[in-house]
A = this chain, B = another copy of it.
Amino acid sequence: MRSASDLTARARIRDAALARFGTDGIAGTSVRAVAADAGVSPALVVHHFGSKEGLRQACDDYVLDSIRSGGAAASEALGEVLQAATPVRRYLARALLDDTPAAGALFAEIVDRTQAWLAAGEDEGWVRGCADARARAVTYVSWLLAPLVLGNHVGRLLGGDPAETTTAVRGTRAGLEMLTNGLFADDRWLAAFTAIDERKHR
């Protein structure tokens, strides 16, 4: 475990920014606050990153790299993300909401990988067929991302602190059950939706 003090100042600033951006949002975080957290003068952060925007991009690049390098060839495309360090997760959630280009690219990349993974599973017989593979991949990724984005609320309701493993486990297990056995015992909702949809398209 690295201690904060033996990192280069540049890295300390990046880590502090990651944490603060994730907690308070990018607009809600001041350069001064980041500098203070890193034990550094505000002038140094702009010396290293050019501007606040530059700092944000550095954060984008950092989480992008740490996710991509994490397990490019891993089977479960998103498993790595969910197990990344918590500040990274929170920052990722913020970035996705703030809709930065980097976040969009990352989301698209995750979806692509997941779609390929699901297609492979379909070939091998352990994933069911479906009408719209693209839509399914997008929806599936959204679902995996959801507890991450809503982590605070989910954690609060499931007891224990949000970062803790044991609370995430309950949600993950419940999700897996739904994905394996299904949630609804008959197709009443699916049929109802299809009916409405067709009526609208006529």
Contacts and interface: CB of A to CB of B under 8 A. Distances in A.
A51 B21 CA distance: 24
A197 B185 contact: no
A71 to B, nearest CB: 16
Chain A interface mostly: helix
A97 B189 contact: no
Interface of A: 24-28, 93-94, 96-99, 103-104, 107-108, 111, 121, 125-128, 130-132, 134-136, 138-140, 142-143, 145-147, 149-150, 152-154, 156-158, 169-190, 193-194, 197
29 contacts: A25-B25, A26-B28, A97-B97, A97-B149, A99-B153, A104-B152, A121-B184, A126-B184, A127-B185, A128-B181, A128-B184, A131-B177, A134-B158, A136-B178, A136-B183, A138-B154, A139-B171, A139-B175, A140-B178, A143-B143, A143-B175, A149-B149, A173-B193, A173-B197, A176-B193, A178-B178, A180-B182, A180-B184, A182-B182
A142 B103 CA distance: 20
B173 A179 contact: no
B172 A157 contact: no
B152 A149 contact: no
A171 B138 CA distance: 7
